[in-house]
Amino acid sequence: MSDAWKNPVPVWTEPTSASVVRVAGRGLLAGLWGALALFVPWALLAVVLWIFSAVAFLHAVLAIANLARNKGVLLMLTPSGTLEWPQSYQETWLGRPRDWVDGPTINVVEHAGMGVPSLVEPRVTLKGATQELVNLPLYRVSPVEFAKAVNAVVAERGIVLKAYGRS
């Protein structure tokens, strides 16, 4: 008997470029706030900008820590047979409930577009037997292609994702 399912299995990951852009953007924002704090002539405003810079820097550090923790995985198959969104450090510290979806058949429902071009579109909701996982980014992959890719991994566990729409 195989023990391949004793650990969570990555099912969907974000592109490396998306991770790099997120971390770099947060780091640049911290640098921008810090640079503004250096050149502003009013001490009170400089203090506020330093605080913004520190918060942005912490946000960038947490993005790196979360990447190290989750390795870019957005959706994983747990040993119990559910599809779960791995929690970030912030979600763990704040006691946020886990996002997961279960059931033998999971429907993939595409959200309406944002109206502004985005690299993470489309976003989908996975609807299972008792739970739903909302706002999963597909990074320019259609819901049908996403369902095919995930089904290749989860079919052995008796789970089927069904997507309708464009392919």
Structural domain boundaries in the chain = 9-13+74-163, 17-69
pLDDT surpasses 50 at 136: yes
pLDDT surpasses 70 at 87: yes
The one-character DSSP state at 157 is G
What is the value of pTM for the model shown? 0.81
Residue 129: both structure tokens together:
């037997």
Instruction: Identify the CA nearest to 11 among candidates 77, 88, 95.
Output: 77
Question: Cβ contacts of residue 102 below 8 Å, gap of 6+?
Answer: 81, 82, 83, 128, 129, 130, 131
pLDDT surpasses 90 at 135: no
Question: Cβ contacts of residue 40 below 8 Å, gap of 6+?
Answer: 46, 49
d(CA 96, CA 4): 29
Residue 86: both structure tokens together:
């791995």
Instruction: Identify the CA nearest to 158 among candidates 5, 15, 20.
Output: 5
d(CA 82, CA 157): 10
pLDDT, average across residues 90-108: 91
Each residue's pLDDT tens digit, 19-60: 999 999 999 999 999 999 999 999 999 999 999 999 999 999
Bridge partners of 161?
Answer: 106
- Spatial contact of 146 and 112, defined as CB atoms under 8 Å apart: no
Q: Name the band, by pLDDT with cuts 50, 70 and 90, for residue 4.
A: low
pLDDT surpasses 90 at 116: no
